[in-house]
Amino acid sequence: MQAGEAIGEECEGPLHNLAGKLVFPEGPRWHSGRLWFSDMEDMRVRSVGPGGDVRDELVLDDYPSGLGWLPDGTLLVVSVKRRQVLALANGEVRVHADLARHALSYANDMVVDSKGRAYVGSMGFDIWADPEFKPGNICRVDPDGSVRVVADRLAFPNGSVIMPDGRTLIVAESLGGKLTAFSIAEDGSLGEARTWAEMEGETPDGICLDAAGGIWVASAIPGRVLRYEAGGRVTHHVRLPEGRSAFAVALGGVDGRDLFLAMSSVHGDTREARLSNRPGSIMVARAPYPGAQSE
């Protein structure tokens, strides 16, 4: 596959901009009629409604990343450099779990299952300061805040989803160029890793699952958004504006078919430049299938 090659069918209609003047949006999740996301480098969790109204939900002194909700509606937020999972309920923030003894380098993206178990990936090395690759892992945070390592030797685990029946977790290995699946046991432990889709030449970042069993992938490098089926066949793509890259995706909206793209400038810019220029945005495409619904 060559960078810029159109792969699969193109999504219908043009992209439209839902929110702009962001810095580096990540971890989008559709929840209660709004798209929630981490504006990572602006150290804020934000949400945006269908009409484009953006509001701050939480301001931090660290980069936020993965988002999810406990069954009681409590928002969970990954605090990247502190290696913590924070909980926001009734306007108050507390530490839900401390990953410092378990996560390998900084914490990153997260998915929360219907039982309130959070699966948090850790990078393995400091991507901002240390160029030497080291494998990362996945930590499971149980509803009581206890932490266990449930998978290791992963090449920068990133976006993740859980199949609607709750029995399979799929994670993007950004530096492995693939989507990796694990069976989930009744106690929340993970089975052996297996490849769900090879993504040669791509750098999978954020992902989301649709009702037909396909996975949309934001491939940060070379800068594409692709829909994969199990086994690695690409069925659809989104044409992105030149010079822009999508780093995460989510499905939602009134009919579940709005494909939200968390976008910013291409790699090479510094955080200081992005804070000044605010190139981040949430753009919307129309997907062929709605988002998956959990059992």
Q: Which of 232, 292, 279, 264 is nearest to 26 (CA)?
A: 264
What pLDDT sits at residue 268? 60
d(CA 273, CA 70): 36
Is 1 domain-assigned? no
Q: Report the pLDDT averaged over residues 38-52.
A: 96
What pLDDT sits at residue 3? 43
What pLDDT sits at residue 216? 98
Is 123 domain-assigned? yes
Tens digits of residue pLDDT in 151-170: 999 999 999 999 999 999 99
The proportion of the chain whose per-residue pLDDT surpasses 90, expressed as a percent, equals 81
What pLDDT sits at residue 276? 82
Q: What mean pLDDT value characterizes the chain?
A: 93
Which of 182 and 295 is assigned the larger pLDDT? 182
The CATH number of residue 173's host domain is 2.120.10.30
Is 4 domain-assigned? no
C-beta of residue 112 within 8 angstroms of C-beta of residue 67: no
Q: Report the pLDDT averaged over residues 182-204.
A: 96
Is residue 199 pLDDT above 60, yes or no? yes
d(CA 212, CA 185): 23
Per-residue confidence band for 267, with pLDDT thresholds at 50, 70 and 90: low
Is 29 domain-assigned? yes
pTM of the model: 0.94
Per-residue confidence band for 4, with pLDDT thresholds at 50, 70 and 90: very low
111 SS3 class: strand
Q: Report the pLDDT averaged over residues 110-129.
A: 93
Is residue 273 pLDDT above 70, yes or no? yes
What pLDDT sits at residue 279? 86
What range does the domain containing 202 cover?
10-286
- Judge if the upstream peptide bond of residue 164 is cis by omega within 30 degrees of 0: no
Is 116 domain-assigned? yes
Is 204 domain-assigned? yes
d(CA 157, CA 278): 27
d(CA 123, CA 143): 23
Tens digits of residue pLDDT in 236-245: 999 898 878 9
- Number of domains the chain is built from: 1
What pLDDT sits at residue 266? 65
Which of 270 and 74 is assigned the larger pLDDT? 74
Is 34 domain-assigned? yes
Is 295 domain-assigned? no
What pLDDT sits at residue 222? 81
